[in-house]
Structure 1
Amino acid sequence: MKEPKSSFSIKDWNEDDRPREKLLTQGKAGLTDAELVAILIGSGNREESAVALSQRIMASANNNLDTLGKFSVKELMQFKGIGEAKAISIIAALELGRRRKESRPAQLKKITSSQSVFHIMQPILGDLPHEEFWVIYVNNSNKVLRKLQLSKGGITGTLVDVRLAFKSALEIGAVAILLVHNHPSGTLRPSAADKNLTDKIKTAGLSLDVKVLDHIIITEDAYFSFADEGLM
């Protein structure tokens, strides 16, 4: 005869009751506060699931996260199924939420011209002895969402995975990208390979509705813009 389980683990629940799976399928906004807390604690006790236990904890805090955030480890441990580790997880998560609320959003840099791309990327690429290929992802206001090194190569070239460039664009919701690479030789003239790669990425972007705004070649103290030269 099997011994009864000491707690209801989330993996043993019905699929519709699993907050982790619900978050994956419906997004974080689709979960209640109690379901989010249940993800933190992972399991309940012999009498109740993690969600039921979390609902009871939330009720004791008048269903107010700010009130719950003021609970001590000792107070949380009064609930059956909440040990020290789970209490600390709840407190840490709520403290992160509080700090996030207090944090001011980072000011996104805006791309206004090819020169602004040069100012952003020259400190990264200008002095390198080898080639690197980067992608700058921007939103519909041309503000920079992310800069990603796509490849790193030798003195005369680097291989670029076009699929990876657009995978990241779709993941972060970028509406446009700018291509940037350096020429350690100091020459600003784009090679045939540079032109072919630009066309290849532009074509791929059309099918995904992600526009390629420019391709910038950077040297130590100057740059070449495909868009400025009418090559886009």
Structure 2
Amino acid sequence: MKQIMVRDIPKDERPRERMIRFGPQSLSNVELLAILLRTGSSNESVFQLAQKVLSELETLQNLNDVTLEELTKIKGIGPAKAIQIKGAIELGRRVVKSIPQDKIQIRSPRDVANFILEDMKHLKQEHFIALLLDTKNQIIAKETISIGSLNSSIVHPREVFKPAIKKSVSAIIVVHNHPSGDPTPSKEDIEVTNRLVEAGNILGIDLLDHVIIGDSRYISLKDRGML
């Protein structure tokens, strides 16, 4: 079967040109993946290679879950192409997760845990996150402030409140995880929280809570009377 090369397709019908004219939604899954792969292999066009990847993975969900090792087992997909695919998928996943769906309203620490616990409970490093809230305590953004061991030099009030000031929000809730699985607040956790409360008072942005995520458990410093 003759390979269908990009150069064999009329210019105004090529995937890149159609994306420019009509948007990415006008392209098939094969065409979108072909754009990402850019080139085929010595024996296959980029379209044939894209079709083979999708056929072997069977569903788009499997494309989301596939590992680099599994991708490189597909003939024609080397480490560079596998990294391109996984990088694009991860970026798309992060974009989707950064947009709160239907403006989730926070009424209690349980609402915070329901929103974020599944994403944080198995992380191997500490992630410090700020949830930015509107006047109805609905989440309008989720910002990762730092990754690494929590300390006052990394979690500086300036960095925590910068996105809140930029988006002109009236309140925030901060969340971080304990990779040990034990959400019991440390002395450092309490000190950082106190500094953020003081900074928020000066800026006129309320720190409503600091929620610590463990392994399927969480602790609210507000509920513990520490905020």
- Does 2:165 align with 1:204? no
- Does 2:179 align with 1:189? no
Letter of the 1:219 counterpart = G
Tell me by how many angstroms 1:179 deviates.
0.9
- Larger radius of gyration between Structure 1 and Structure 2: 1
Structure 2 Cα separation of the partners of residues 162 and 191 of structure 1: 18
Tell me by how many angstroms 1:188 deviates.
2.0
Please state whether the residue corresponding to 2:194 is helix, strand or coil: helix
1:223 to 202, 213, 218: 218
Structure 1 Cα separation of the partners of residues 196 and 132 of structure 2: 14
C-alpha RMSD of matched pairs (Å): 2.2
Residues 84-132 of structure 1, C-alpha deviations (whole Å, 9 max, x = no match): xxxx99xx9xxxxxxxxxxxx9620110110010111112211111111
- Does 2:125 align with 1:137? no
Structure 1 Cα separation of the partners of residues 105 and 122 of structure 2: 24
Structure 1 Cα separation of the partners of residues 161 and 123 of structure 2: 25
Aligned length: 130
Matched with 2:114 is: 119
Structure 2 Cα separation of the partners of residues 203 and 162 of structure 1: 9
Contact 1:150 1:161 survives alignment (8 Å): no
Please state whether the residue corresponding to 1:214 is helix, strand or coil: strand
Letter of the 2:219 counterpart = F
Please, what TM-score do these two structures have when normalized by structure 1? 0.52
Unaligned runs of 5+ in 2: 1-19, 24-99
Structure 1 Cα separation of the partners of residues 155 and 225 of structure 2: 23
Tell me by how many angstroms 1:170 deviates.
1.2
Structure 1 Cα separation of the partners of residues 213 and 137 of structure 2: 20
- Percent same amino acid at aligned positions? 33
Tell me by how many angstroms 1:231 deviates.
1.2
Structure 1 Cα separation of the partners of residues 179 and 128 of structure 2: 12
Structure 2 Cα separation of the partners of residues 229 and 135 of structure 1: 20
Structure 1 Cα separation of the partners of residues 117 and 143 of structure 2: 14
Runs of 4+ aligned structure 1 residues displaced above 6 Å come to none
Please, what TM-score do these two structures have when normalized by structure 2? 0.54
Structure 2 Cα separation of the partners of residues 229 and 216 of structure 1: 10
2:175 to 152, 177, 180: 180
Contact 2:182 2:215 survives alignment (8 Å): no
Residues 15-55 of structure 1, C-alpha deviations (whole Å, 9 max, x = no match): xxxxxxxxxxxxxxxxxxxxxxxxxxxxxxxxxxxxxxxxx
For residues 20-35 of structure 1, what are the structure 2 equivalents within 5 Å? none
